[in-house]
């Protein structure tokens, strides 16, 4: 499902953080005045009252004021505070992307906690052919299948640097590799079988 939101998401480069067992996501839009006090109060409470490692992620949903700059300043000031930013406002996009970050953090935390007995890794595929992924029922789109989109394969190919449209079978090989002894030195990682979508736009025919 990565392709539903990643195309309009700009990720602020993450700072090194410790493994956390509690991730709190704060979606914001044009909250430059209220954000500093709210985040500082929450951060102080977590430090004083919560007995395990935690992290606050501020998810800026296409703010048009100085919310993003304020959030980035808070991330620099306070430990275990991160920021993600969406370029376009949408229905639940900030929560969707934030949940992706939370899963990545969970993989890292579990890998550290369960080592050396167990390795923990994740797979985050890009757009996928031949799925039954449908729209949101709350928007009346539960009968709309993403795979029924005209020229779906060609669209996926055009959006990836490798010019490929991948299927579930393609993604399965990532799981096979991570479950095998060939990956015995890998833990805490999330790999992205997405045709290069996450590293940049597809190259033009002239390139």
pLDDT one-digit tens code per residue, 173-193:
999 999 999 999 999 999 999
Helix axis angle, 67-77 to 35-49, nearest 10°: 30
Whether the predicted pLDDT of 15 surpasses 80? no
Weakest-pLDDT range from 2-6, 61-65, 118-122: 2-6
Q: Please name which of 138, 139, 102, 149 lies closest in space to residue 122, comparing C-alpha atoms.
A: 102
- Average the pLDDT over 76-85 and give the result: 92
Residue 41 has what pLDDT? 94
Please check whether residues 69 and 163 belong to one and the same domain. no
Q: Please name which of 203, 128, 141, 199 lies closest in space to residue 169, comparing C-alpha atoms.
A: 128
CB burial of residue 85 (10 Å; 0-12, 13-18, 19+): buried
Whether the predicted pLDDT of 17 surpasses 60? no
- What does pTM read for this prediction? 0.57
- Quick one: what percent of the chain has pLDDT higher than 90? 47
Active site residues: 96
* Structural tokens at position 29: 């839009």
Whether the predicted pLDDT of 4 surpasses 60? no
Task: Find the domain containing 136 and state its range.
Answer: 121-201
Please check whether residues 58 and 10 belong to one and the same domain. yes
Residue 164 has what pLDDT? 94
Please check whether residues 189 and 129 belong to one and the same domain. yes
Number of domains in the chain: 2
- Average the pLDDT over 87-115 and give the result: 79
Spatial contact of 155 and 193, defined as CB atoms under 8 Å apart: no
**Residue 84: its H or E element:** strand 81-86
Q: Does residue 206 fall inside a structural domain?
A: no
Please, which pLDDT band fits residue 69 given cuts at 50, 70 and 90? very high
Please check whether residues 56 and 78 belong to one and the same domain. yes
């Amino acid at each position: 499902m990565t392709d539903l939101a990643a195309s309009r998401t700009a990720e602020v480069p993450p700072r090194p953080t410790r493994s956390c067992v509690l991730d709190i996501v704060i979606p914001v839009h044009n909250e430059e005045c209220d954000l500093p006090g709210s985040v500082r109060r929450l951060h102080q409470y977590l430090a004083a009252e919560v007995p395990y490692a935690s992290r606050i992620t501020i998810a800026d949903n296409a703010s048009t004021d100085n919310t993003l700059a304020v959030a980035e300043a808070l991330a620099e000031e306070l430990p275990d505070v991160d920021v993600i930013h969406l370029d376009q406002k949408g229905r639940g996009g900030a929560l969707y992307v934030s949940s992706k970050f939370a899963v990545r953090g969970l993989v890292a935390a579990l890998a550290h906690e369960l080592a050396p007995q167990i390795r923990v890794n994740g797979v985050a595929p890009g757009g996928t052919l031949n799925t039954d992924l449908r729209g949101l029922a709350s928007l009346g789109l539960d009968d709309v299948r993403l795979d029924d989109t005209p020229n779906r394969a060609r669209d996926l190919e055009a959006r990836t640097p490798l010019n490929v449209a991948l299927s579930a079978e393609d993604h399965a090989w990532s799981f096979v590799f991570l479950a095998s002894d060939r990956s015995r030195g890998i833990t805490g990682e999330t790999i992205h079988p997405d045709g290069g979508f996450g590293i940049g736009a597809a190259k033009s025919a002239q390139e």
